[in-house]
């Protein structure tokens, strides 16, 4: 008998398996799950910046038809754990930031709940507060570490001496603004209590993450909490456990056994689910006469919340990006009476590489060297921070391929050299990078049914990246069966545990567990059954064994971003007619979904460069442009042409698939490429995002 090995599916652009259901509106998200006799929750939010909730009058609200309960700290369920101050809501009368949950109204309809919430009278005592982010803040401090485990400060060599003796130097400060996560699906929950068990339909990036967090808060065993999430409409870092899921669980406990549904409004999301911290970044560079870096110094100031620290790892990318014998990085935080910042697509690398890659462009100009060549000239042989070899590093290939496709060779080196009509035209380049992250703790079960189908079970989630398809491709190849013979079950804590979807780690972590289970299944089939499937089928569970090469190689993805920019000479209006990104990200599992991810990241980078800026009024502590009418993001009209491609990269050290994360790589470097192109067009260096027309007008 001849065994036919099916054609591999990894590397093939298989359409999203859940795509038809999404197009037809049949893919159910958290808030859309069918439940019996649902009730609806509308939050009560703090109307002051900091202080206490002195009194509550809910008389009029409770008298409204359909209202079931009004709850505040006075009658809310008690939490067992209050260690996480962001999540330990309604446990006292204290108010830590404007918009914080101070209670909720539950009613038979969303309209009744919202109307009644407006009738609740909150008597607050306001205290002193501080919400103004400034680099000279008197309470500036160094955190113990930066997200998630990196050293706060690092020093190699003697940076000060090297800067003092450098042939060419740069000393500049760059700023990035406060940015708000705005996934298309709002943060939403359905919570149901049955006796001492809690079930949640939750819009999340990790069902086990939510399970473990809620179990600790309510004093439950994790097995008493079930979290289901078949689809998430975007997360970008914000859809971890926030106070909304805690509020929903509290409300459901008060109206047991009826389900409680909560979906945050867009305005509420601006106050409750985190944001990217603003940054002030001071960069100093030194170079020798040959244009090779001799010193790099990168000092970062960013904000955090007094009630919960989050330290973005903004300068960490500078530790590994370019060859240089003398290097200094540091992070300092400003503690404020605000909601806690959180992860936002490519945390650390996104703001940090804007500053570093802008500085590299300025330094290339000061040295009289082409910006592409300047980066290539400072390419390291080993990771400058660890001294380890890279498992693969093809930044130079990306730069050269991108320059060729972009037509970089036709670029005039001097700024303001090209005009078309009333527009100044320029082009710019920047590099991208993101670490390869493989989180521990994922397991997968694979069952071969008596009918010969292979069912893969893992509690992973698809946040819109194509995971439903990519994991089936990985399983099919590992099992050596056709794609159509594999079924996938995921998004439920009743399945084998999976790590969170974060840090572009999903496919790496979950795929490794699936490959381990597939290998174990095939080995057991051969060793115990001579390759013949038992009558009752076969099932194997395996855990991701981890990466034995982690201590031997430095593992990163890289890319090169190119931008065409036009700035109107009279009005200062800026347009970006073309973006090109060339990436090196290991083996591409599904080119169609990968391209979509990279285009999405670059679109967000364009939005970061030109539009996004959340304005906080320091008097009242809230973001004033808290909707899409005034918090501007890029739309189709802003994105005429984005081209994406990658160089082939064989990296056997990162994981069994040879893949690297790409979800966050695309945004990194985009804003710097646009800023560098704007300088080339106008001769005006914009170091403060976003790049608005007033910055080109004298």
**Annotated active-site positions, please?**
664
How many whole angstroms separate alpha carbon 275 and alpha carbon 179?
A: 6
Residues facing 420 on adjacent strands? 423
**Cβ proximity of 341 and 312 under 8 Å:** yes
How many whole angstroms separate alpha carbon 386 and alpha carbon 553?
A: 9
**Cβ proximity of 131 and 337 under 8 Å:** yes
How many whole angstroms separate alpha carbon 429 and alpha carbon 337?
A: 38
What is the Cα 152 distance to its own chain's centre? 21
Tell me the three state secondary structure of residue 424: strand
How many whole angstroms separate alpha carbon 196 and alpha carbon 214?
A: 13
The pair of three-digit structure tokens given for residue 82, joined into one six-digit string: 């209050």
> Helix 207-218 crosses helix 243-254 at what angle (to 10 degrees)?
60
Q: Considering only CA atoms, which of 490, 466, 487 is closest in space to residue 591?
A: 466
Q: Which is it for strands 556-568 and 423-435: parallel, antiparallel or unpaired?
A: antiparallel
Distance spanning both ends of the chain, measured CA to CA:
81
Half-sphere exposure of 680 (CA within 13 A, CB side): 27
The 10 Å Cβ neighbour count of residue 190 is: 24
Half-sphere exposure of 477 (CA within 13 A, CB side): 18
The pair of three-digit structure tokens given for residue 489, joined into one six-digit string: 């079950």
Handedness of CA 620, 626, 629, 632 (dihedral sign): positive
**Cβ proximity of 456 and 489 under 8 Å:** yes
How many whole angstroms separate alpha carbon 211 and alpha carbon 229?
A: 12
What is the Cα 136 distance to its own chain's centre? 29
Q: Give the length of the chain.
A: 698
How many whole angstroms separate alpha carbon 672 and alpha carbon 668?
A: 8
**Cβ proximity of 634 and 602 under 8 Å:** no
Give Cα separations from 532 to 97, 450, 487, 526, 656 (angstroms): 63, 11, 21, 8, 26
How many whole angstroms separate alpha carbon 89 and alpha carbon 313?
A: 28
Task: Give 68's contacts (C-beta < 8 A, 6+ positions apart).
Answer: 39, 106, 107, 108, 254, 255
How many whole angstroms separate alpha carbon 680 and alpha carbon 368?
A: 14
What is the Cα 663 distance to its own chain's centre? 8
Q: What is the DSSP letter of 463?
A: S
Tell me the three state secondary structure of residue 670: helix
Q: Three-state secondary structure along 175-200?
A: EECCECCCCCCCCEEEEEEECCEEEE
């Amino acid at each position: 008998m001849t065994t036919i090995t099916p054609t591999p599916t990894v590397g093939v652009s298989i359409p999203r398996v859940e795509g038809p259901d999404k197009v037809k509106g049949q893919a159910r998200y958290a808030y859309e799950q069918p439940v019996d006799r649902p009730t609806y929750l509308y939050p009560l939010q703090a109307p002051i910046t900091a202080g206490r909730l002195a009194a509550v009058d809910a008389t009029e609200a409770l008298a409204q038809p359909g209202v079931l309960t009004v709850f505040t700290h006075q009658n809310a369920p008690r939490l067992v754990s209050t260690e996480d101050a962001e999540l330990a809501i309604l446990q006292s009368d204290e108010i830590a930031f404007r918009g914080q949950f101070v209670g909720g109204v539950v009613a038979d309809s969303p309209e009744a709940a919202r109307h009644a919430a407006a009738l609740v009278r909150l008597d607050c005592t306001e205290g002193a507060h501080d919400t103004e982010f400034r680099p000279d803040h008197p309470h500036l401090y160094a955190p113990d570490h930066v997200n998630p485990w990196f050293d706060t400060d690092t020093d190699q060599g003697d940076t000060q001496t090297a800067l003092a003796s450098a042939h060419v130097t740069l000393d500049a400060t760059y700023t990035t603004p406060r940015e708000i996560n705005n996934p298309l699906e709002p943060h939403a929950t359905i919570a149901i209590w049955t006796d001492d068990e809690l079930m949640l339909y939750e819009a999340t990036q990790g069902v086990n993450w939510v399970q473990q967090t809620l179990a600790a808060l309510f004093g439950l065993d994790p097995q008493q909490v079930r979290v289901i999430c078949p689809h998430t409409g975007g997360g970008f870092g914000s859809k971890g456990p926030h106070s909304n899921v805690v509020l929903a669980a509290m409300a459901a406990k008060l109206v047991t056994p009826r389900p409680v549904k909560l979906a945050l409004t867009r305005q509420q999301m601006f106050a409750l689910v985190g944001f990217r911290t603003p940054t002030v970044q001071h960069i100093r560079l030194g170079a020798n006469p040959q244009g090779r870096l001799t010193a790099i110094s990168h000092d970062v100031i960013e904000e955090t919340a007094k009630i919960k620290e989050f330290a973005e790892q903004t300068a960490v990318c500078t530790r590994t990006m370019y060859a240089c014998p003398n290097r200094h990085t540091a992070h300092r935080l400003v503690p404020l009476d605000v909601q806690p910042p959180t992860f936002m697509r490519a945390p650390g690398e996104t703001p940090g590489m804007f500053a570093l890659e802008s500085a590299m462009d300025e330094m290339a100009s000061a040295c009289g060297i082409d910006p592409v060549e300047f980066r290539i000239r400072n390419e390291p042989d080993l990771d400058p921070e660890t001294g380890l070899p890279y498992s693969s590093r093809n930044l130079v290939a990306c730069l050269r391929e991108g320059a060729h496709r972009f037509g970089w060779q036709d670029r005039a080196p001097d700024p303001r050299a090209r005009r078309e009509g009333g527009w100044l035209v320029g082009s710019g380049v920047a590099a991208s990078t993101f670490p390869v992250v493989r989180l521990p703790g994922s397991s997968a079960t694979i069952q071969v049914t008596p009918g010969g189908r292979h069912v893969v079970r893992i509690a992973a989630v698809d946040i819109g990246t194509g995971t439903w398809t990519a994991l089936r491709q990985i399983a099919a190849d590992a099992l050596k069966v056709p794609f159509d013979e594999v079924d996938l079950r995921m998004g439920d804590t009743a399945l084998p545990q999976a790590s969170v979807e974060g840090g572009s780690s999903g496919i790496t972590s979950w795929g490794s567990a699936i490959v381990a289970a597939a290998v174990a299944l095939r080995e057991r089939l051969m060793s115990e059954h001579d390759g013949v499937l038992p009558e009752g089928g076969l099932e194997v569970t395996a855990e991701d064994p981890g990466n034995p090469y982690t201590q031997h190689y430095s593992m990163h993805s890289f890319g090169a971003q190119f931008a065409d920019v036009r700035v109107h000479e009279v009005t200062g209006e800026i347009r970006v007619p073309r973006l090109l990104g060339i990436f090196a990200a290991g083996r591409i599992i599904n080119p169609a979904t990968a391209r979509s991810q990279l285009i999405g990241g670059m679109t967000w980078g364009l939005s970061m460069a030109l539009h996004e800026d959340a304005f906080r009024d320091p008097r009242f502590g809230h973001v004033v442009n808290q909707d899409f009418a005034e918090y501007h993001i890029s739309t189709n009209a802003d994105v005429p042409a984005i081209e994406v491609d990658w160089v082939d990269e064989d990296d056997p050290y990162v994981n069994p698939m040879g893949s690297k994360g790409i979800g966050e790589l695309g945004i990194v470097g985009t804003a710097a490429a646009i800023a560098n192109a704007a300088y080339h067009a106008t001769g005006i260096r914009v170091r403060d995002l976003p790049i608005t027309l007033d910055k080109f007008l004298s």
